[in-house]
């Protein structure tokens, strides 16, 4: 998979040059944090990324949303007008993880506010 991430990093860098984009502009267009864009583009951290991250970057680079996923897995990228395949179970799983994290954060905030109000 390391070769796949190297290919993704190269594709992003090459496309940014073609479009005349700076990293900050890619961050703004994609909604992906600068730290993650930097890690992917420099291929400095090897970790699993969500497909939504690659979709957001692909779209921000004016590619088909599944372009970078195809690059990652060594497949030919889809044409811009091809339909998007949807991984409903995978997306639902990701949503559930995010909701769980949000719920835990809210519970922590509620606990902190209660402690603050009761003087603990």
Asked which of 3-7, 14-18, 49-53, 72-76 is least confident by mean pLDDT, the reply is: 49-53
Do residues 16 and 72 share a domain?
yes
Do residues 17 and 47 share a domain?
yes
Model confidence at 31, pLDDT cuts 50, 70, 90, reads: very high
Residue 47 predicted with pLDDT over 80: no
Do residues 15 and 52 share a domain?
yes
Model confidence at 99, pLDDT cuts 50, 70, 90, reads: confident
Cα diameter, the chain: 61
Do residues 20 and 32 share a domain?
yes
> Which CATH number characterizes residue 9's domain?
1.10.260.40
Residue 30 predicted with pLDDT over 80: yes
Question: Per-residue pLDDT averaged across 42-57, rounded?
Answer: 84
What pLDDT score was predicted for residue 86?
Answer: 59
The range of the structural domain enclosing residue 112 comes to: 86-120
Total length of the chain: 120
What is residue 83's DSSP assignment?
P
Place of tokens 């007008």: 81
pTM comes to 0.67
Please give the tally of structural domains in the chain.
2
> CA-CA distance, 101 to 104, in Å (whole number)?
5
Do residues 78 and 118 share a domain?
no
- Render pLDDT for 70-79 as a digit per residue (tens, 0 to 9): 999 899 998 8
Do residues 61 and 105 share a domain?
no
Do residues 25 and 39 share a domain?
yes
**Percent of the chain with pLDDT strictly greater than 70:** 87
> CA-CA distance, 16 to 29, in Å (whole number)?
12
Question: Per-residue pLDDT averaged across 16-27, rounded?
Answer: 96
Do residues 79 and 95 share a domain?
no
Helix (H, G, I), strand (E, B) or coil at 48: coil
């Amino acid at each position: 998979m390391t070769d796949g991430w190297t290919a993704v990093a190269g594709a992003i860098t090459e496309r940014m040059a073609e479009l005349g984009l700076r990293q900050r502009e890619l961050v703004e267009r994609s909604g992906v944090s600068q730290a993650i864009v930097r890690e992917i583009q420099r291929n400095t951290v090897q970790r699993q990324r969500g497909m939504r991250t690659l979709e957001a970057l692909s779209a921000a680079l004016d590619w088909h949303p599944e372009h970078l996923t195809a690059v990652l897995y060594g497949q030919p990228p889809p044409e811009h007008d091809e339909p998007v395949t949807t991984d409903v179970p995978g997306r639902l799983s990701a949503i559930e993880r995010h909701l769980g994290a949000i719920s835990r954060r809210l519970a922590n905030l509620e606990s902190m506010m209660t402690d603050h109000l009761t003087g603990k």
